[in-house]
Structure 1
Amino acid sequence: MPNQTEDLIERMTASGQKRALVVMAHPDDNEFVCGGTVALLSSKGWSVHIVVTTSGNKGTKDGSVTPQQLAFVREKEQRHAAEILGAEDPTFMGFPDGYIENSNELRGLLVRQIRLHRPDLVITWDGFRSGFNHRDHRRTGRATYDAIYPAADDHLFYPSHKRENLSPHRPSVLLLAGTDSPDYLVDVTSVMAIKVRSILAHESQMGGRTEAMVMERYRKRMIEERGAATVHGNKDDEVRYQESFKVIEFA
């Protein structure tokens, strides 16, 4: 069972560690898997920067839309969603949707983001989870691990960054989203409405769904997944909403 005895976010906030970097594969990944956590961090005074590795230019069933048109729309939607969550303006790497590789190019770009933003906390996909998952999720997660360690903290990796006055940096904590072995739950009940609004900012993906429809979907999921851990009594308004992660702490 996930360990909730120590609130990691509260501990980091109290110690002044209040910079987060979220690395996701597609526009909307952040909002679905950790939007509540981002909103919670923002409410506690953290600076949160979102990096999206692909343009999301394949994510449609509309045959009349070109990849270029879709990429433009999805970038606009992601900027709006980040604003709703209180995050900074996102960084878009623009790799084609479905073609992410854990390449030297991608790792170098991620190392640059780590050295630039100097996060205390990084959130990304669990690239080693069992079962089915999008290849872009897996490879974005693995590239992020490799960028954090050993590359971002060693000056001999990507030495050209010195010309930008970017020095080595290692985050304190990595949270893996979409994991099948979570050991940390974040209670996002207080910011759930913000999370839902950020999801609905991705209009090209949401097919006309309403806030009530999305909230009901999450309510049912929480009851099914967490049961008594999230429901106190029988009142719907007492459901506790959570996002789950696997924690890696760096010495």
Structure 2
Amino acid sequence: MGIGRQPPPYPAIWATPPRGRVLALAPHADDETLGCGGVLIRHREQGDPVRVVCVTDGAAGDPLGYYSGRDYPELRREEARRAGAILGVDDLVFWDYPDGRLAEAHDLAQRLAALFDAYRPDIIYRPSTAEIHPDHWALGVATEEALHDYRRAVGDYCFEAWATVRPSYVIDISAVWERKRQAIEQYQSQLRYNDYVHMIEGLNAYRTIYLSSARYMEAFESGFNDSS
């Protein structure tokens, strides 16, 4: 082994989420629930305001045409509202960028910067730039660009969706897992294609390697501008 080499630091275990105004950035409606639904519930339980921004319209989420003839983006929005009600979040915003083409949205970083100035979040949950889904990656990159000149202290936390993170923080969501599961189940249009309950249950169970007394945990990596 190389002289002076050290393993990555062990993640800190949040007993409770950090306090403050929360902003969750979801590339598609469902990512907020899959990636950080448990911690959003816990924020709402301690009285923190939470806003979720669903950035794309989700229109590419039905490649086999199960819902042809319907207003599919509106269906995705309806699912998000039902999931949000279970999470305790009623402040949802839909930006409706074209699904699958977020990297082409050249105004995204500017729009995020304006959102940060207006909403003044204390805590941001968003995808990392290590994400392999192009929309997730594009949102992660745009968030970091928007935060580059943001002068207000903010906790910047990357959640797990299509790629895992190197955890900086983990939190026990065992007590709220059933609510998170129920929120995932509101996305029936997506569950026709992928068993997200099975996938996320496995991921959140695996993260209990950091706390053996827990049944389910969510993990987050410090982002570009984490002031915590």
- Class of the TM-score when normalised by the shorter of the 2 chains: 0.7 to 0.9
Q: Supply the distance in 2 between the matched residues of 1:141 and 1:22 (Cα, whole angstroms).
A: 12
Find the counterpart in structure 1 of residue 128 from structure 2. Answer: 126
Q: CA deviation at 1:194?
A: 1.1
Q: What is the root-mean-square deviation of aligned Cα atoms in Å?
A: 2.8
SS of the residue aligned with 1:59?
Answer: coil
Structure 1 stretches of 4+ with a deviation exceeding 4 A read 216-223, 226-232
Q: CA deviation at 1:9?
A: 4.8
Q: CA deviation at 1:139?
A: 0.4
Q: Supply the distance in 1 between the matched residues of 2:66 and 2:207 (Cα, whole angstroms).
A: 41
Instruction: Pick the aligned partner of 2:12 from 1, 4, 26.
Output: 4
Q: CA deviation at 1:221?
A: 4.2
Q: Does 1:73 align with 2:75?
A: yes
- Relative distance call for 1:141 and 1:191 in structure 2 (3 A) is same
Letter in 1 for 2:143: T
Unaligned runs of 5+ in 2: 1-8
Find the counterpart in structure 2 of residue 177 from structure 1. Answer: 159
Q: Which structure has the bigger radius of gyration? A: 1
Q: CA deviation at 1:128?
A: 2.9
Letter in 2 for 1:246: E
Find the counterpart in structure 1 of residue 217 from structure 2. Answer: 242
- TM-score relative to the length of structure 2: 0.82
Find the counterpart in structure 1 of residue 29 from structure 2. Answer: 27
Q: CA deviation at 1:66?
A: 4.5
How big is each residue's C-alpha offset from its partner over 1:2-58, in whole Å with a ceiling of 9 and x where there is no partner? Answer: 4225x3855x43xxxx20101110010111111001111111110010011100101
Q: Supply the distance in 1 between the matched residues of 2:193 and 2:70 (Cα, whole angstroms).
A: 22
Q: CA deviation at 1:180?
A: 2.8
Find the counterpart in structure 2 of residue 53 from structure 1. Answer: 55
SS of the residue aligned with 2:12?
Answer: coil
Instruction: Pick the aligned partner of 2:172 from 180, 183, 187.
Output: 187
- Relative distance call for 1:58 and 1:68 in structure 2 (3 A) is farther
Q: Supply the distance in 2 between the matched residues of 1:141 and 1:126 (Cα, whole angstroms).
A: 5
- Relative distance call for 1:100 and 1:190 in structure 2 (3 A) is same
Unaligned runs of 5+ in 1: 154-169, 233-238
Letter in 2 for 1:250: S
Q: Supply the distance in 1 between the matched residues of 2:98 and 2:191 (Cα, whole angstroms).
A: 21
Question: Is contact 1:121–1:171 with CA below 8 Å preserved after alignment?
Answer: no
Higher helix proportion, which one?
1
Q: Supply the distance in 1 between the matched residues of 2:52 and 2:157 (Cα, whole angstroms).
A: 14
SS of the residue aligned with 2:113?
Answer: helix
- TM-score relative to the length of structure 1: 0.75
Find the counterpart in structure 2 of residue 117 from structure 1. Answer: 119
SS of the residue aligned with 1:101?
Answer: helix
SS of the residue aligned with 2:130?
Answer: coil
Letter in 2 for 1:191: V
SS of the residue aligned with 2:157?
Answer: strand
- Determine what percentage of the aligned residue pairs are the same residue: 26
Letter in 1 for 2:34: F
Find the counterpart in structure 2 of residue 200 from structure 1. Answer: 185
Q: CA deviation at 1:226?
A: 4.3
Find the counterpart in structure 1 of residue 147 from structure 2. Answer: 148
How big is each residue's C-alpha offset from its partner over 1:168-206, in whole Å with a ceiling of 9 and x where there is no partner? Answer: xx2421001124311111111111111111111112112
* Number of equivalenced pairs: 215
Q: Does 1:138 align with 2:113?
A: no
Question: Is contact 2:204–2:218 with CA below 8 Å preserved after alignment?
Answer: no
- Relative distance call for 1:62 and 1:219 in structure 2 (3 A) is closer
Q: Supply the distance in 2 between the matched residues of 1:25 and 1:137 (Cα, whole angstroms).
A: 6
Letter in 2 for 1:105: D
Q: Does 1:101 align with 2:103?
A: yes
